[in-house]
Structure 1
């Protein structure tokens, strides 16, 4: 990731692991969602009791190495693409050890959403500007 990424540190809990002793595959989606929420609440300066103005509509994950109970990992999140009403995010999960190896790469798609009207809407320029300023996008 060449842009400045939002970093969310996570300590792997025992309940996150499976019978083989490594983080269970569905847990990475929890890590991604936590990272997305932290990034967006901070970026938009919204308290955590406020809804974000977009919803997650699609996710995917590629697993590249293992993480275990007690490991500390970091999720590096960036907005990678803007559409008319949606935006895509990349989330790279890395070990915080000296090797910094990649554990998983996830993608998510989000759509701007008006909860009251139950409809989508165009991405506001202010949102694009905040993301660009934080990530150092040109």
Structure 2
């Protein structure tokens, strides 16, 4: 196993993929901030982009489940903010991968997050090993 996939400190994460997010009116709470639950949707959009751009697969074509989701909120996101989400893999297991995220508003951190995805066989629901091709693509993403 490549040492690069040991659990990393947030400051050491190489975010290999970054996307822009359009804040919609329905994303806002009664105070005019992005609702805290919407942050998970932002993470999902970034995860989809990572899988397509870095690994070369669509999440709709494979079986993955979220085993864990943690979000640490740093500051509110205002309705007119320019929002981006950066994502990278911080740990690669046999059948799971941990992804680290930073949600930014106007270039400043608004939240950090982690998800653990488990690759599963769609027919059996059982976990299955991450393909070696994925490992190669993930390992090369930071180059």
Give the TM-score taking structure 1 as reference length.
0.86
CA RMSD, Structure 1 to Structure 2 (Å): 1.7
Partners of 1:114 and 1:58 in 2: CA distance: 18
Match of residue 85 from structure 1:
95
Which aligned segments of 4 or more residues in structure 1 are displaced greater than 4 angstroms?
A: none
Higher helix share: 2
Structure 1 residue 4 displacement after superposition:
4.3
Aligned 1:17-96 pairs, distance under 5 A:
17-46=28-57, 50-95=60-105
Q: Which runs of 5+ in 1 are unaligned?
A: none
How many pairs does the alignment contain? 132
Superposition deviation, residue 47 in structure 1:
5.2
Task: With the length of structure 2 as denominator, give the TM-score of the two structures.
Answer: 0.83
Distance (Å, rounded) in 2 between the aligned partners of 1:40 and 1:53? 12
Aligned to 2:3: none
The unaligned stretches of length 5 or more in structure 2 are: 1-10
Alignment of 1:120 onto 2:127: yes
For 1:82 and 1:52, locate their aligned partners in 2 and report how far apart those are by CA, in whole Å. 17
